[in-house]
Amino acid sequence: MEIFKKNDKLSYLIHRNYHLLPVLNRFGIKLGIKNKTVEDICRERKISTGFFLAIVNTYHNEEYFPREELLSFSPLEITHYLRKTHQYYFQHIVPKLDDLLAKLIASSHHDFKGLQMVDVFYKKYKKELNQHIDHEEERVFPYVINLVKNHKIDPKYTIRSFEQEHSNVDEKLNDLKNLIIKYISPDYDENICNDFLITLSLFEKDLEDHARIEDKILMPITIEIENKLGR
């Protein structure tokens, strides 16, 4: 298992795994990075190097998990990163999927049933994803931020009261892919369909990683803070 280190050049990370590009963007990093190392960039952008490495390594390796450093990460830094990820989904990925699906449907002359099923399923999925993310943005993250900034606990809640299953969001995306792979008729533009499926697959991978950060990093840190404050 390859683990990126602080002395690695950032360009090396991108050559090894270009899927990290949107992850870097969430930290405000854009290209033109010359020979700067991870540590140089983090110092420049005032990002905690440990947190940055934990995020890129979690993304790069599914088995990697920063158990030891876990509790040293700032919940504010984590929620900031998670919010940037939500923005990326709604400002970039979802509009791209909308557009590709509309083009895919337009490219088909006869397969009204199969692609219509995909369309209905996709719209339903989008609604559920929206609700899930709204819940985090409006309830979960403000709860965590308030806990960290004001050291106050609300007797009515703990982080567990806000916890929502991620399995639903993950599984539905897989069902959607299956629907396309198995049940549409071969009456469509294959390049558009491939783009749609590839974008869905990348989204699925990104979402899984995102959920892992929420469940395995943000959640235990928040529970630890609650415990310290006497919950």
> What is the distance between the terminal CA atoms of the chain, rounded to a whole angstrom?
38
- Our CB check for Fe ion shows the closer of 4 and 141 to be 141
Number of residues lying near Fe ion (CB under 5 A): 2
- Our CB check for Fe ion shows the closer of 60 and 86 to be 86
Q: Which residue among 111, 136, 206, 209 contacts Fe ion (CB under 5 A)?
A: 136
Rounded CA separation 78/213 (Å): 8
Minimal distance, residue 133 CB to Fe ion, in Å: 6
Among the residues of the chain, which ranges form H helices? Answer: 10-16, 21-26, 38-45, 49-60, 75-88, 94-107, 112-135, 141-150, 159-162, 167-183, 190-213, 219-228
Q: In sequence order, what are the beta bridge partners of 37?
A: 9
- Our CB check for Fe ion shows the closer of 60 and 210 to be 210
Site string for Fe ion, 87-126 (x = CB under 5 A): ----------------------------------------
- Our CB check for Fe ion shows the closer of 206 and 214 to be 214
Instruction: Name the residue type at position 56.
Output: V
Cβ partners under 8 Å of residue 16, min gap 6: 2, 4, 60
Is 209 near Fe ion (CB under 5 A)? no
Minimal distance, residue 82 CB to Fe ion, in Å: 5
Among positions 8-27, residues that touch Fe ion (CB under 5 A) are none
Instruction: Name the residue type at position 112.
Output: F
Chain residues that interact with Fe ion, rule: CB under 5 A: 136, 214
